[in-house]
Structure 1
Amino acid sequence: MTALGAVFRPQLAPERLRAVARVADAVGLEELWLWEDCFREGGISAAAAALAWTERVRVGVGLLPVPLRNVALTAMEAATLHRMFPGRAVLGVGHGVQDWMGQVGARVESPVTLLREHLTALRALLRGERVTTRGRYVRLDDVGLDWPPEGRVEVLAGATGPRSLRLAGEAADGTILTSTTPADGVRRARGLIEEGRAAAGRTEPHPVVVHLLAATGPGAADRLRAELAAEGVDSVPGLGVAGDAGTVAKAVERLAEAGADTVILQPTGDEPDPEGFVRFAAEEVRPLVA
């Protein structure tokens, strides 16, 4: 079965998160995702709060930009969330938006190399290993977590281009695709991910999470068009969906047929009713998705 979730977008003030998270938990939404867009809410702090305010919904952060963090700190924070809220935290990492990384003095010459080194060290630390490595960017000297997670923890990677998609298959436990990925793009991404998995000899499941820009209610089509135009992708066919639950469910199923294991409904940045959008996803769209 395709898992379904929704995004709490960081265009909303942090104090709005509590109400949205509690609605997500109450109506049975499977996953609530957060973003760490510069320079809005912090991903780990927001995830910790959302997890503490809820009982059952899984909370994902997609994604944490690795240039902003020492890998040991990422591991410490991830392990803490997984121990406090077992089975409910989902963390994704990525090389971040390069313009933003440049603004804070964290841009690197090879973002893919940094992501590879970060993923390799992070997954080892979360397995409870002691790690010594001297990479181009990641350097650790006999580092191990005092409180590693109990059990296996999946680390997802955000990826768009062919190199990062192959890397995700090789070095991550799952992949996050943005809302600018139509169904055909999901199929191509799956193929590239599988190339990376084959090269690394990996055979375990590799979940693919895909965001779907969605709008419903009055003015939905106009809001969707405006957001696609603002992102410069309004000429790309098959992106986003506007309409009622049946229309949105069909769009979700198209992504699932293309290879998405989880589809996260992404409201427009000007969504007038974030709590209502979460209810719409859980109570109206979810029953229509196989």
Structure 2
Amino acid sequence: MTKMMPGTLLATCLLTASLLPQMAQAQGVDAGVEKAIDIYECAGALSYGETAAERYRVSSEALWKDFERLENSSSVKSDASDLEVRKRWVRAARGKGPGSMHKHILSVARACEKQYAPKVISEPPVARKPGQYTQADLRYHIQQTGDYAAVADYIVHKYPGGKPLFSELPEGEFLGEFIRKIGAKGVRKFSDSAILGITRQHYWQYNPPATLIISAEYRKRLRARKYSQVQANNWARREQQARTARAQSGVYASPSIGRARTVFQTCTVTTVSGYGGGRVTKCKTYK
């Protein structure tokens, strides 16, 4: 593809002026070709501005690549586009005195920057209270803090009865997932309430490794207290009642979260369109 060379651009534009009478006889172009010429003009103007040490929020290279895609998939020709753009610029600068071509090209570059720079479209953030954290929020919290114990507390206090019998519990599946990941050493940091809740209730559909890890930790804590079966049952019942009461009052986390000074964050996604666009995740902190 023939690209405009910034160093010779003004000279060739002036040369093009002598050809304008012949070009005036040329036939019009269709909308697709016109769009390609517009992109070519923006790429050339940005390239010229970049050479003049101007800075833009979109690069000429991105537009050159866009033009190449059009050139490869249609009847668009780079030589014809180049000639048409030079024609436009000569016409725009004619009779306006020295330096008018330079000023016009830079003004085109700024207009193209405004047209093609990434446009940010933010999805309205949803302010979630602690009892409304999603699995994605909890996963992000762990990624940022490594505090698995706080998240385990949060889940068992939000769902004191465990997983509903005939439905899924995404947070419960996530609980089993990270218990399997952190193993016996990791669950030692879990509160008694979390260990008892996970042991006595079902939080995941099928995860034997996680079940074995929690059962082993539960037995170790019983041995440390030298509890009989009756004492163990009473202990579990007291903790269950406390978790249920907290859930009914809207307090989903055990006191261990406060002691650990943990924070949760809820995240929203921002979609950036245009050149260099994509999806950006931003998170709000709830203490």
TM range (shorter): under 0.3
Larger Rg: 2
Which structure's residues are more often helix, by fraction?
2
* TM-score (structure 2 length as normaliser): 0.25
